[in-house]
Amino acid sequence: MATVTVMDEPEHFSFPVLAKLASVGMMVLGLIAFGLTWIGGVELAMTGWVIAAWYCLGFPLFATLFISISHLSSSGWHVVIKRVPEAMTRYLPVAAGTFVLIALAALFSDFYDWAHPVDHGDLHSELIAGKTAWLNPSSFVIRMAIYFGVWIAASWALVRASRKQDVDGDVKHTTTGRRVAAPYAALFATTVTFASIDYIMSVEPTWFSTMFGVYQFAGIMESGFAMLALLLIFLQQTGYLRKSVNENHYHNVGIWLLASATFWAYIWFCQFMLIWYSNIPEETQHYLARWEGPWFWVSFGLNPLINWVIPFLILLPRPNKRNPKMLAIAAFFALGGRFIDLWQLVAPRSHPVDGIPHASAGVWTVVVVGTLVGVLGLFLFVTLKALEKAPLLAKKDPYYVESVHHHL
């Protein structure tokens, strides 16, 4: 039974020089772009930084959850590709570094309205004052340390179990992984919900949505699977995993991408519809600011189109999910959509004019995409560097044979 197909393909990944140069180039470009955005003031620069840092943090977070749900569902198909999410988790400590700047922004700037509230004697000030028990700089920084502590500890434990198995091939490491995965799945849900409230939702401190955590989770899953698909295609293009990863594995990743894009659309629409329906000013202010002017075309046009409609239609037919080219196109759309989603959340803050909320920033703030390019370069550099550290195939994983023979 256990006849493992002999594969003549490189066992270890070596970071191609061209890719190294490209990711460093992205970092340099991003640094220049980030520097230039400071001309527009702290608010513009930090808008770009918050989007970029949260966007790229999504990938390692997705990776830890992907490994966890694979353990919890006793999944076998993912073993030949599991080194990629494992390498993605290595970006977490670096991501913690990128979040230091956000902590500094909360401590020393007015980027977050709640950080240093000024009492104007109006209802706006009163609402913010009522939230300072949670939204204040010192507890913001403490919470940040807790979130990253949980994420880094869990990713370290999950990857360590997998590395140890490479040495002795003992099944007990799979059990260890499963033991870590179960509590982590619950911790992940809690920490990601609170983190999304802290970093993104609190940009508009008087607005709240109880669906915000799951909304961000959906976006993280969609962009995560898109990145996983692109990294796999990149590896195959550069001559790795040519025989062990085939269209059946792409099919599974494609199913996940299709499902998570649809889940995103479902949650995105649900959040809007419930707020639209109940029509309570505290909740509608967020959407009212995006309902008028050019932001409408971004929030209600581009956002669902690029995040869901296009990837959905591309990935619906079975042959497209099995075709790396089509999968890559859908993945690029999903990654672009994630930026648009975060950009329309962070950039246009709602401020009252004559008591009516309006968006304070124009669509020209799209220039912050430059900062994202830089942080994305950092993520790719760290991930591909981490991919060199371990063999590309976990040949001693008990599910390895099942994964090689995966067939859909």
Partner 1 sequence: MPDEENKLFFGVFTDEDDCLEAVKACTEANFTYHDVLAPYAVHGLDRAMGLPFSKITWVTFLCGMMGTTIAFLGMGYMSHWDWPLNIGGKETLPIPAMIPIMFELTVLFGGVCTMLALFAFCFLFPGKQARLFHARQTDDRFVIVLEMDEDFNEAKAREIFTANHAEDIREVDADYDINSGPEGAA
- Give me the residues that bind partner 1 (CB under 8 A), please: 269, 272-273, 276-277, 279, 316-318, 407
- CB of 299 vs partner 1, minimal distance in Å: 14
Tokens representing 257 are: 């991408």
| 3-state secondary structure string across 201-253 | HHHCCCCCCCCHHHHHHHHHHHHHHHHHHHHHHHHHHCCCCCCCCCHHHHHHH
Q: How far is the CB of 270 from partner 1 (least distance, A)?
A: 9
Closer residue to partner 1 in complex, CB, 146/273: 273
Q: Identify which of 130, 136, 334, 323 has the alpha carbon closest to the alpha carbon of residue 228.
A: 334
List the beta bridge partners of residue 350: 359
| Complex with partner 1: residue 74 or 279, whichever CB lies closer | 279
Q: How far is the CB of 273 from partner 1 (least distance, A)?
A: 5
Q: Compare residues 121 and 277 and give the one whose CB is closer to partner 1.
A: 277
Pseudo-torsion of CA 400, 401, 405, 408, nearest 10°?
-50
- In the three-class reduction of DSSP (H, G, I as helix; E, B as strand; rest coil), residue 351 is classed as strand
Query: What is the Cα–Cα distance from 321 to 255, expressed in whole angstroms?
Result: 7
CA 178/CA 312 separation, integer angstroms: 32
CA distance 207 to 187: 25
CB of 350 to partner 1, least distance (A): 19
Instruction: Name which of 108 and 266 has its Cβ closer to partner 1.
Output: 266
Whose tokens are 């590709």? That residue is 81
As a whole number of angstroms, the distance between CA 70 and CA 83 comes to 13
DSSP E strand stretches across 301-405: 350-353, 356-359
Q: How far is the CB of 276 from partner 1 (least distance, A)?
A: 5
Nearer to partner 1, 149 or 317 (CB): 317
Which two three-digit tokens encode residue 121? 């004697």
Q: Which is nearer to partner 1, 136 or 209 (CB)?
A: 209
Q: CB-wise, 172 or 318, nearer to partner 1?
A: 318
Nearer to partner 1, 5 or 279 (CB): 279
At its nearest, how many Å lie between partner 1 and the CB of residue 292? Answer: 17
* List of residues 6+ apart from 96 with CB closer than 8 A: 148, 152
Report how far Cα 173 is from the mean position of its chain's Cα atoms: 27
CB of 316 to partner 1, least distance (A): 7
Q: What are phi and psi of 356, to 5 degrees?
A: -105, 125
Instruction: Provide, rounded to whole angstroms, the least separation between the CB of residue 99 and partner 1.
Output: 35
Minimal distance, residue 215 CB to partner 1, in Å: 16
Nearer to partner 1, 116 or 318 (CB): 318
Give CA–CA dist 40/45, Å, rounded: 7
